[in-house]
Structure formats: C-alpha cells, structure tokens
A and B are shown apart, each in its own frame.
Chain A
C-alpha cells in the first residue's frame, strides 16, 4: 500500500479493498438466499406433485363420500370396490378439496370419441400447475381422467 499525502485512511487502495470485502459478503449472502429459495420452491413442488399423485390414485381406487378422493364403482354382488372402474354419477358430483396451499384447477374425463366432459374448472390465476392423466373404465368404455392441481 502506498503512503500518499492523504495518509492511509482515505487511500484508494483501502477503499477498493473495503468495496471488495463488502461485495464478497453481498455475494455470499445472495448465494445463501438463492439456495434457500430454491429449496423452498423444490419443497412446494414436491408437495404439489405428491398431492396430485395421491388424489388421482385415490380417485380411481377408493369409493368414499368425497368423490374427488374416491369415485370407484362398488360392486354389490362381489361386495368390493372395483379399482380403476369409475361410477360416472359419483364422479360428476366431485367438488374441490384442499387447504390454502393448492387448488384443483381441472378435473375432466376424455371419452374415447374425443369428447371432453369437464367436472371441475377453476380459474384463480394459476401458477406452477401439475396435470396428471389416469386411464379408467366407465361402464365398458375406457376413459382418460385428467386432473390438474395448481399452487395458490
């Protein structure tokens, strides 16, 4: 470091060093912040994916009071729920479930002839959505059940 008439304190060298130290600190903080944001976003995405997978899985496997969580056909003769075979009337009564963290953006059935029947449709400024399809039976016809979940 050169000693000028102005002395050490106001020398350009020292100011530059201080700027570099603060810049480094800023970069370290920014890097930590970015990593945390990434982790939180990843966790939210995981939650959404997990919920979508389990809702659509439960929809075709179970027969419960909430049709979105189970609209499988109950076979009275065999006394059992028939997985992957849906009760159309029960499915049509489906209403959204879920707490504040996500919402059901779409639930629809795509028939073999290309016709699409929408059961739930919500437009709430969707972001980070995930859509899943499951093949199931309604009567003797195989259909595509489409479910889309979005973050609020």
Chain B
C-alpha cells in the first residue's frame, strides 16, 4: 500500500472511531437520562410516602380522625405508612399507631385512631 492509500485507510479508521465515540457518548447520555428518570420517580414515590405519613402524623397530633389524600396511601407495619407510585412502593415512619385507609372514588381516606382527647 502506498502512502496515499495508507492515509486514506487511516482517515476511514479515524472517522469510524469518531462515530464509535459519538455512539458511546450518546449511549452514556441516554443511560444517564434513563437512570435519572428512574431515580426521580423513586424520589417522587418517597415524597408521596412522606406526604402520607405527614397526613397521618397531623391527625395523630390532633385527636385523630379522617383525611382525604390524593396519594395511594396505606398502613404498613407498626409506625409505618406506605405509598405506591408508578410501581414503586415506599414506606415512611409515622408517629401514628393505628392507621387504616379506604379507597373512595379513586381517592384515599386515611383514618388515624388515638385515645380520645375528650372522654
């Protein structure tokens, strides 16, 4: 192979490497985007669980009762409120001891029972 041919071959390899590099870069960015979206969804699910636990805690501190929330909340184990969002189930600590939930027209009604403040 003469010198000109060698340079052409190298130019082709160079361009191929450049495309490979661009493909890797696009792949990495896409993977990052997917991971970030997934993490955001998980964080959102965590935030929803926290919202549920705040609702339960507010009731517990204020003589119990019922509250309607948009989130899909339900009671977990002791001192635990759970929520499901986009398939991610997250739990949050709640000071409430007796939590129950019912679904009414697509909404969740959380109920917290405490010792009656007036008895």
Contact = CB atoms under 8 A, between A and B. Distances in A.
B6 interface: yes
B118 A79 contact: yes
A108 B43 CA distance: 34
B93 A99 contact: yes
A80 to B, nearest CB: 5
A34 interface: no
Contact of B61 (A29, A36, A57, A97): A57
**Interface core residue of A7, A28, A32 (most chain B CB under 10 Å):** A7
Interface SS of chain A:
helix
Interface stretch (A39-47, A122-130, A131-139): A39-47
A25 interface: yes
B28 A29 contact: yes
Interface stretch (A59-67, A84-92, A111-119, A140-148): A59-67
Contacts, number: 90
Given A7-B10, A29-B28, A81 B117 contact: yes
Given A64-B97, A80-B117, A50 B7 contact: no
B96 to A, nearest CB: 9
B25 A21 contact: yes
Interface in A78-110: 79-81, 97-99, 101-102
B29 interface: yes
Interface string B79-119: 11000000000001101010000000000000000110111
Given A21-B21, A50-B50, 16 more contacts: A7-B6, A7-B10, A8-B7, A14-B14, A29-B32, A36-B39, A47-B50, A47-B92, A54-B57, A55-B95, A62-B117, A70-B115, A79-B119, A80-B117, A81-B117, A99-B79
5 contacts: A18-B21, A43-B47, A62-B60, A70-B114, A98-B93
Interface of A: 3, 7-9, 14, 18, 21, 25, 28-29, 32, 36, 39-40, 43, 46-47, 50-51, 54-55, 57-58, 61-64, 66, 69-70, 79-81, 97-99, 101-102
